[in-house]
Amino acid sequence: MISFYPGPSRVHDEIPAYVKEAHQRGILSMNHRSKEFMEICGDTIALLKKKLNIPANYAVMFTTSATECWEIITQSLIQNNSTHIYNGAFGEKWYQYTKRLNARAQKVQFNPEEVLSAAYLNFNHSDVICLTQNETSNGTQVGNAIIAAIKKNNPHSLIAVDATSSMGGVELNFRDADVWFASVQKCFGLPAGLAIMICSPKAIERMQAIGEKNHYNSLSFIKEMIDKNQTVCTPNVLGIYLLMRVLKKSSSIKEIHKKTNLRAKTWYELFHKHTQFQLLIKNKNARSNTVICLAGDPSQIRAMKQNAKRAGFLLGEGYGALKETTFRIANFPALKDEEVKKLIAFFRKKK
Ligand SMILES: *Cc1c(COP(=O)(O)O)cnc(C)c1O
C-alpha cells in the first residue's frame, strides 16, 4: 500500500534499515546525557540548518509534536495577547488551544480562496501573530512574501508560523518570522513522535524578558538544555537519529522545492480537467504545493477511495468539516516518481 495520506505519511524507504542500524549501534538504549547523544543532537541541528537554510543565529530545538509547540508558544512567548490568522481547521485548533490558556487570544479568519493582503494586517499590539503557513485541512498556503510583509507591518510582534505540512518540502524564508515549527510525520517522511521548533534571536530575547519557568517544557528550559545539545526530558532519541540519517542523504531544500512544485503542477493540471473530482480551491494563488485537496460527491469519493485501496493507494480523508466532501493527496518528498505516476494513471482511468 502506498500512502498518499498527508500525515502520518509515507516514510522514506531507508527507515527500516536505519532502525536496524540504530539498534546495532546501541542508539535505542542510549543515555540522553551521554557524549554520544550530544553529538547526534548537535549534528542533527547542524544538518537541519544546512539543508533547510536556517539562519545560523536561530535556535533549533526538539519537541514531541506541533501541538506541543502551540502550547509552548502560549505559555512562554505570550504575555498579553495573540492574533491568529487562519482559514481552516489547523489554524482554528491552534487558536482554540491558545485560548484555553490565554483568554485574550484573538482570531482573524479569512476565506480559503483569498490570498492574504498583508498591507491590511496590522496587529502590532499583539505579542505574537500566529499563521498556519500550509493549512493541511483544505490545501491552502500563505506565501513567503506575505509572511515577510506581515513581519514588516508589525515590528513589535513576534511572528509564529505552523509549517507542519510544508517544512522539508518547500523553501521557507526563516528570517521572515520568529518562531517556526513542524512535526516530522509529514514532509520529512519520518515516523511520528518528534517535532522541530525554530526560534529567532528576537523570540529568544522575548522569552528571556517574560521569564516563564512553570512547565517542564517552558521554552527557557528547552533552550538552556539545547545549548548543551541536550533535552529537558528523555527525548525521542530514535526519532532524532532517523532525522539525522535522512537529512544526511537529502538534497538541498532548493532542489526539493523545485521537485515539489513540478509535481504540484502535474496534480493541479490533472484535476483541473477531471470530470469526477474538482479542486477544492479555485484560486491557484491560494493553493498549497504539498497538500492537494479535491472536492466531489460524497458517495463518489467513498467509492473511489475503496477502488484506490484495492489498487494499492491510501488516500487522505477529508479533514474536519470537509470530511465527507473532500479527499486529500500528499505531495511530500518521500513519495517516489513512479508512485506518483501510478496514482496519476489511476485517476486518468477514472475520468
Ligand atoms: C498535522 C498538523 C498539526 C498537528 O501535528 P501533531 O504533530 O499531531 O501535533 C498541526 N498543524 C498542522 C498544520 C498540521 O498539518
| pLDDT tens by residue, 208-265 | 999 999 999 999 999 999 999 999 999 999 999 999 999 999 999 999 999 999 999 9
Give pLDDT, residue 120: 79
pLDDT beyond 90 at 171 = yes
Residue 173 CB partners (closer than 8 Å, separation 6+): 144, 147, 148
Pairing of strands 291-295, 326-330: antiparallel
Distance 183 CA to ligand 1 centre (A): 7
Give 92's strand partners.
none
Average pLDDT, the chain: 97
Return the percentage of the chain with pLDDT > 90, whole number. 97
Mean pLDDT of 16-23: 98
Q: Which cell goes with 342? A: 501510478
CB atoms under 10 Å from CB of 178, counted, come to 26
Peptide bond into 235 cis (omega under 30): no
**pLDDT attached to residue 118:** 83
- Measured CA distances, 4 to 242, 281, 303 (Å): 21, 19, 17
Name residue 108's beta-bridge partners: 85
Cβ contact 48:279 at 8 Å: no
164 Cβ inside 6 Å of ligand 1? yes
How far is 351 from 346, CA to CA, in rounded Å? Answer: 9
Distance 93 CA to ligand 1 centre (A): 10
What's the gap in Å between 66 CA and the centre of ligand 1? Answer: 5
What average pLDDT score do residues 36-56 get?
A: 98
Phi, psi of 178 (to 5 degrees): -105, -30
pLDDT at residue 337, as a whole number: 97
List the residue whose alpha carbon is closest to atom 14 of ligand 1: 164
For ligand 1, whether the C-beta of 65 sits within 6 Å is yes
Please tell me the predicted confidence (pLDDT) of residue 119.
78
Q: Does 63 contact ligand 1 (Cβ within 6 A)?
A: no
Q: Provide the residue type at 65 as one letter.
A: S
For 48, the enclosing helix (H) or strand (E) is helix 35-52
User: All 3 cell numbers of residue 5?
Assistant: 495520506
Q: In angstroms, what is the span from residue 69 Cα to ligand 1's centroid?
A: 10
Atom of ligand 1 nearest to the CA of 136: 15
Closest to 32 in 3D by CA, of 226, 223, 190 = 226
Question: Is the CB of 290 inside a 6 Å radius of any atom of ligand 1?
Answer: no
Q: Are 182 and 344 in contact (CB under 8 A)?
A: no
Amino acid 31 reads: N
Candidate of 63, 73, 165, 236 to mutate for ligand 1, largest count of ligand atoms within 8 Å of Cβ = 165
Atom of ligand 1 nearest to the CA of 185: 7
Whether the per-residue pLDDT at 71 is higher than 60: the answer is yes
Which residue's alpha carbon is at the smallest distance from atom 2 of ligand 1? 164
Distance 164 CA to ligand 1 centre (A): 6
Q: How far is the CA of 128 from the centre of ligand 1 (A)?
A: 19
Residues of the chain with pLDDT > 70, as a percent, come to 99
With vertex at residue 341, the alpha carbon angle to CA 339 and CA 342, rounded to the nearest 5 degrees, is 65
Among protein residues, the one whose CA lies closest to atom 3 of ligand 1? 66
Compute the distance from residue 330 Cα to the ligand 1 centre, in Å: 14
The pLDDT of residue 350 is 58
- Closest residue by Cα to residue 61 from 222, 191, 206, 249: 222
Q: What is the pLDDT of residues 294-345, one digit of tens each?
A: 999 999 999 999 999 999 999 999 999 999 999 999 999 999 999 999 999 9
**Which residue matches cell numbers 498583508?**
118
